[in-house]
A and B are shown apart, each in its own frame.
Chain A
Amino acid sequence: MSEALVASQAAGTDISVPAGSGARQFWRRLRAQRAALVAAVVVALLVLVALAAPLLTAIEGQDPFTYHPSLIDSARGGVPTGSFGGITGGHWLGVEPQTGRDLFARLAYGARVSLGVALGATVVQVTIGVVIGVAAALGSRWVDQLLSRITDIIVAMPLMIMSLALLAIVPSSFPRPLLVALVIGLIAWGNIAKIVRAQTLTLKELDYVSAARLSGWGTWRIARRELLPGLAAPVITYAALLVPINISTEAALSFLGVGVKPPTPSWGQMLTAADVWYQAAPQYLLLPAGALFVTVLALTVLGDGIRTALDPRAASRLRIGTGRKREAKADASGKKVAVDASGKNFAADADSGRSTLDPSIKTIKSADANGEKEDPA
């Protein structure tokens, strides 16, 4: 629900890789944040549960589809018999009201659906976004205009509404979870395309890319070897924060009855009628709601941690408010506000009306032994 927030934060990622060979430094920094570590453990557990759902339910001896009418008191409207909503050795978390289906099994399989759909949607979004973003940045002006216009239209489409409507018209013979993932993915790739385009435009202007051209390499090879690695950081950051958003979206759609349809379990779907049961069987409401909350929270914290690990300078600014560098920013409409590696803002420099491509601006200072550019102050 807060895509632009994510967009604006992800877009602030620094383009020049900080000291240390990328991957190792990244893991080190990630491990240094306790909150992110805890979140990572939680996420790992969830993934484990999702993957091992069939195994776990087999141990329990249940499955998410079988109705158990004997465990329901239909006289009282379908309330589960037994204490705590029907928790027994055979039903670890009780049973669902009205149907008697095993709650644990439904939750475990629900985890699969939630995570799977969210991941699938993210993959679709990232793929389309990167392709379009790079094509727009590297293509001719005409291509850029066209693709940017298309991206603007996609960004303007309200996600929930369009998903709702699209999900309505596709016949139910099509596998539903896959459909939900596709629909979300196809509607929500706009922001990431903008970020990718802005970042690629900035990277394109870097001297080492020009040097690669002078060496004799062609556009495709340069895109692959020089530009794509530079995109890794913002794309990963954004994708990490997209996953929890997609989980929420799928849950919302299922809640409304248009997403994942019964009998396939989904956490959001389980909440559709849950409010009625909160007195008699509170866990029917609390468990899926809690699961959603914990999952989205853990993923968001992990995403924050990944962002910090990829761009420690931005993070230290967020902590204390020190440091000077300004990074390449994509503003609200993805317009390029070009910045060179030393942080000078071209587009805002109205000096003699020269084009933003002429970097004949003097740079600040010299580099000392560590390659640091400015005096510490």
Chain B
Amino acid sequence: MSGFGGFVLRRGIGTVITLLAISVIVYVVFFVTPGNVAQITCGPRCSPEQVHQVAQQLRLDDPLYLRYWHFLQGILVGQDYSTGTSVEHCSAPCLGLSYQGDQQVTQLILAKLPVSLSLVFGAMVLWLIFGVGTGVLSAWRRGRFTERLLTGITLAGVATPVFVIGLVLMIVVCGQLQLLPFPQYVSLTDDPEQWAWNLLLPWLSLALIEAAAFARLTRASMLETLAEDHIRTFRAYGVGERSIIGRHALRGAFAPIIALNANNVGSAVGGAVLTETLFGLPGIGQELVHAVNVVDLPVVVGMVLVIGFFVVIANAVADVLYAVADRRVVLA
């Protein structure tokens, strides 16, 4: 269907443009800060020579667009850095070198990525199942006690900050009840069972909040669909309530659910940062917080770019899925 193909193409191009734009903005914002970049990164206890050295390494003398170009080059084809004694090649995508110990940012990120991915994707599965399931249940049992109870619970869920739930869970489950040990990350490849057990609490704290939001959205969308004319048609033909809810009302909620999920990837990433910090999981989020505290700019920029990249891709995928769920958007 050329209409659809054209739609995908347009979104693809849009995504690339968005990514480029983000990279420009991020770069400009961070490396063109008020105050002396070199001074900031070096820290207050640096001597003027050290500051000068940092400035040199950052090539701060070059005009802005040239610096950005080098940066972009690094990402696309790699770059060479001199560390004083030797020349190190940083292969694409090269995001620079960390100020703390000259580690390649890309390597750093790659090392930490599996943790964060485990966290976010595991939580996503949980929140989709619980959230949508609860929403459907609420819509099905609308007007009855079950619905009101669920509505109350989801409301409370939406109102609680992520880290509060995490804190409470950790304290109650690990501290008081001692059902689980305090989580320590175990790699999936090492020991799948331990991996899952240790991630259970982080998953729950991240997923519960998002699930509540999904439950609310699913319920609202389904109720809105139930008020539409085509539902009346099927009722007028004797179609049972279960089919109406499961086949027609739910289908109407797909598109908004997909849209919300796209947006939630962004906020879930934020939640992941909090969860990692709280539970001490060695992921990107925790590293980012650390880098921010010591103002390790290349790491910060690198991580922001990577995360932004994922979010943009997730949004684009969601847009396409949305169009699949609701063909009418393609015509608009």
Contacts and interface: CB of A to CB of B under 8 A. Distances in A.
A30 B319 CA distance: 36
Interface residues of B, number: 83
A132 B235 CA distance: 44
Contacts of A212: none
A317 B227 contact: yes
Interface stretch (B33-41, B91-99, B197-205): B33-41
B273 A169 contact: no
B34 A347 contact: no
A1 B164 contact: no
Q: Which of B209, B267, B271, B303 has the most CB of A within 10 A?
A: B267
B18 interface: yes
B111 interface: no
Contacts of B262: 4, 332
Contacts of B108: none
Contact of B167 (A161, A257, A289, A326): A289
B202 to A, nearest CB: 14
B171 A332 contact: no
Contacts of A2: 158, 210, 213, 216-217, 260, 264, 267
Given A153-B18, A161-B269, A297-B159, A257 B293 contact: yes
Interface stretch (B50-58, B71-79, B185-193, B304-312): B304-312
Interface string A313-333: 010011111111010000111
Given A271-B167, A321-B142, A336-B332, A156 B227 contact: no
Interface stretch (B22-30, B62-70, B82-90): B22-30
Interface residues of A, number: 69
A347 B332 contact: yes
Contact of B163 (A4, A244, A252, A337): A252
Interface string B270-311: 110110011000000000110111010100110110011001
Interface stretch (A5-13, A45-53, A219-227, A232-240): A5-13
B331 A350 contact: yes
Contact of B332 (A160, A171, A326, A337): A337
A321 B269 contact: no
Contact of B35 (A160, A171, A292, A335): A171
A333 B319 contact: yes
A156 B315 contact: yes
B263 A165 contact: no
B258 interface: yes
B22 A335 contact: no
Given A162-B304, A332-B319, A156 B311 contact: yes
Given A159-B266, A248-B161, A297 B213 contact: no
B159 to A, nearest CB: 4
A165 B22 contact: no
A332 B161 contact: no
A206 interface: no
A158 B289 contact: no
Contact of A169 (B17, B224, B297): B297
A171 B34 CA distance: 8
What is the predominant secondary structure among interface residues of chain B facing chain A?
helix
Question: Which of A169, A292, A293, A318 has most chain B Cβ within 10 Å?
Answer: A169
A115 interface: no
A50 B131 CA distance: 35
A149 B271 CA distance: 26
A157 B226 CA distance: 34
Given A271-B163, A296-B159, A331-B259, A1 B267 contact: yes
Contacts of B329: 331, 333, 335, 337
B271 A1 contact: yes
B266 A275 contact: no
A310 interface: no
B43 interface: no
A164 B292 contact: yes
A71 interface: no
Interface in A322-377: 322-324, 326, 331-333, 335-337, 347-348, 350
A239 to B, nearest CB: 17
A60 interface: no
Contacts of B42: none
A153 B175 contact: no
Contact of A161 (B29, B270, B277): B270
A251 B161 contact: yes
A274 B164 CA distance: 10
A11 B25 CA distance: 29
A123 interface: no
A215 B189 CA distance: 73
Contact of B308 (A158, A171, A279): A158
A9 B223 CA distance: 12
Contacts of A152: 14, 18
Interface string A124-164: 00000000000000000000000001001101111111101
A175 B211 CA distance: 36
A156 B267 contact: no
A41 to B, nearest CB: 17
Contacts of A255: 163, 274, 277
Interface string A230-260: 0000000000000010001001100111100
Interface of A: 1-5, 7-9, 12, 149, 152-153, 155-162, 164-171, 244, 248, 251-252, 255-258, 268, 271, 274-275, 278-279, 285, 289, 292-293, 296-297, 300-301, 314, 317-324, 326, 331-333, 335-337, 347-348, 350
